[in-house]
């Protein structure tokens, strides 16, 4: 998959494409359905299958004080999109200047002039352009006028009747239910970040941890999680089972949230490396202990529980790809 950070001077191979358009934070089941719909149209037309997304998330520009809400880093987003068989990903920088472009100009200058799109696919609730005035109705109208195709993908619900939506997934994560979030995402939720230096206390406790930098992410429920930690290995990922604490470590009077991962059966130094931390299950809230001994004993219990839970879950894919699609996706309207 090629990643373009611009839309001018594109190689001819990337133009005349079918493009799925959206913010796609999470690349959840609903997003996957939009992107796959573009894929099957691209296949039928013999055209390149592309995705266009915006970074940083437009909401950040308009509400800079908004607490972090990101479900996927650009790295994870790109990785997920690539695993759907996409040929090119356009990542457009969303700044003030870009946000002042009207919906009509976005369609005519970017989609038509620069990309020469043959077909556009969006979700039913996608809005774009200055003042968020662009929507599927406008795309339908301008598609006829300009001579490209447009498909609007309806809302789809999971087998329990709940919509695939980023906001719902965020709420599950904030409430300590990563297992349910994973069902809506179509894969476990991951925090991906560089391993930074911690305060070295983990060794003393008998549970050395890798501290993962996670500034921009949504902050899920504080507490202890059963995790799978993935280390980049060439084109693939090596996975290790583990247990993690996400929180402020009240026992030591901390105030800044950190993610500390203890990997089972692993020895080595991870400083500076990228770690993918898939949150598989939530074990308990974080607690303030009276002393180190109580905390140590509790971590041993947590580790045992995490091992048992993980042993009963399907193994991760060695290539780090998403799980295959499942049923329950809605129909699209033309
Ligand atoms: N710190 C706390 O203050 N309260 C906890 O409940 C707590 N639970 C933990 C559970 C696990 C599995 C791990 C690995 C760490 C936990 N910690 C907790 C963090 C611990 O204090 C920290 O790893 C060391 O202080 C090293 O920074
Ligand atoms: Mg949505």
φ and ψ of 230, to 5 deg = -110, 130
The predicted structure's pLDDT at residue 198: 82
Active-site residue (options: 82, 174, 260, 267): 260
199 CB near ligand 1 (under 6 Å): yes
Residues 249-254: contacts with CB within 8 Å, 24+ apart?
A: 249/286, 250/286, 250/287, 250/288, 251/287, 251/288, 251/289, 251/292, 251/295, 252/201
Q: Name the band, by pLDDT with cuts 50, 70 and 90, for residue 62.
A: confident
How far, in Å, CA of 23 to CA of 128, rounded? 10
pLDDT class of 328 with cuts at 50, 70, 90:
very low
Asked whether 219 lines ligand 1 (CB < 6 A), one says no
Please work out whether the CB of residue 245 comes within 6 Å of at least one atom of ligand 1: yes
pTM of the model: 0.91
Answer yes or no: are the C-beta atoms of 237 and 320 closer than 8 Å.
yes
As a whole number, mean pLDDT of residues 296-300 equals 96
Ligand 1 center–CA 300 separation, angstroms: 11
Q: 14 alpha carbon to ligand 2 midpoint, in Å?
A: 26
Contacts of residue 74, Cβ cutoff 8 Å, sequence gap at least 6? 55, 91
- How confident is the model over 271-286, as pLDDT tens digits? 999 999 999 999 999 9
Distances in Å between the Cα of 155 and the Cα atoms of 113, 230, 323 are 30, 32, 21
Ligand 1 center from residue 249 Cα (angstroms): 6
What digits encode the pLDDT tens for the residues 165-188?
A: 999 999 999 999 999 999 999 999
Ligand 1 pocket, 207 CB below 6 A? yes
- Token pair in block for residue 177: 């239910």
Q: What is the mean pLDDT of residues 146-172?
A: 96
Across the range 114-135, mean pLDDT stands at 96
Task: Enter the tokens of residue 134.
Answer: 């662009």
**For residue 321, what pLDDT band results from cuts at 50, 70 and 90?**
low
Active-site residue 260, yes or no?
Answer: yes
Assess whether the C-beta atom of 292 lies below 6 angstroms from ligand 1: no
Quote the CA–CA distance of 125 and 90 in Å, as a whole number.
20
Spatial distance between the Cα atoms of 189 and 186, rounded to a whole number of angstroms: 9
* Model pLDDT, residue 324: 39
Distance 84 CA to ligand 2 centre (A): 18
On the question of pLDDT at 305 being above 90, the answer is yes
Beta strands per DSSP E along 234-289: 236-247, 258-263, 274-284
The C-alpha atoms of residue 266 and residue 269 are separated, in whole angstroms, by 9
Q: Which atom of ligand 1 is nearest to the CA of 202?
A: 26
The more confident residue out of 316 and 17 is: 17
Atom of ligand 1 nearest to the CA of 284: 6
Question: Does residue 225's CB lie within 6 angstroms of at least one atom of ligand 1?
Answer: no
Beta carbon of 280 within 6 Å of any ligand 1 atom: no
Q: Whose CA is nearest to atom 19 of ligand 1?
A: 249
Using DSSP's 3-state secondary structure scheme, residue 14 falls into helix
pLDDT at 333: 30
Ligand 2 centroid, distance to 13 Cα (angstroms): 30
Ligand 2 centroid to residue 175 C-alpha, Å:
20
Cβ(257) – ligand 1 distance below 6 Å: no
- pLDDT 10s digits, 14-47: 999 999 999 999 999 999 999 999 999 999 999 9
Tell me the best of 199, 291, 299 to mutate to test the pocket of ligand 1, counting ligand atoms within 8 Å of each CB and taking the most: 299
């Amino acid at each position: 998959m090629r990643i373009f950070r611009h839309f001018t001077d594109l190689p001819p191979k990337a133009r005349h494409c079918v493009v799925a358009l959206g913010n796609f934070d999470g690349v959840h089941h609903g997003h996957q359905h939009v992107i796959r719909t573009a894929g099957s149209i691209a296949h039928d037309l013999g055209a390149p299958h592309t995705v266009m997304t915006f970074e940083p998330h437009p909401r950040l520009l308009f509400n800079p004080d908004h607490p972090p809400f990101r479900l996927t880093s650009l790295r994870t987003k790109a990785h997920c999109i690539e695993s759907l068989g996409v040929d090119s990903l356009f990542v457009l920088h969303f700044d003030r200047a870009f946000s002042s472009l009207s919906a009509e100009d976005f369609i005519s200058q970017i989609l038509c002039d620069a990309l020469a799109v043959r077909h556009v696919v969006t979700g039913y609730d996608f809005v774009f352009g200055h003042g968020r005035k662009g929507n599927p109705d406008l795309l339908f109208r301008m598609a006829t006028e300009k001579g490209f195709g447009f498909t609007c993908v309806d809302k789809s619900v999971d087998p329990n009747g709940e919509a695939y939506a980023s906001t719902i997934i965020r709420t599950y994560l904030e409430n300590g239910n990563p297992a349910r979030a994973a069902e809506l995402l179509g894969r476990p939720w991951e925090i991906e970040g560089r391993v930074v230096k911690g305060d070295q206390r983990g060794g003393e406790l008998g549970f050395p941890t890798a501290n993962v930098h996670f500034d921009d992410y949504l902050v899920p429920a504080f507490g202890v999680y059963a995790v799978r930690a993935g280390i980049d290995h060439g084109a693939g990922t090596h996975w290790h089972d583990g247990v993690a604490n996400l929180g402020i470590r009240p026992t030591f009077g901390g105030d800044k949230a950190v993610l500390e991962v203890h990997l089972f059966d692993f020895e080595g130094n991870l400083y500076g490396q990228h770690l993918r931390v898939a949150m598989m299950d939530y074990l308990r809230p974080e607690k303030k202990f009276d002393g180190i001994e109580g905390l140590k004993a509790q971590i041993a219990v947590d580790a045992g529980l995490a091992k048992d839970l993980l042993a009963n879950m399907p193994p991760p894919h060695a290539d780090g790809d998403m799980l295959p699609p499942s049923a329950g996706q809605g129909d699209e309207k033309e």
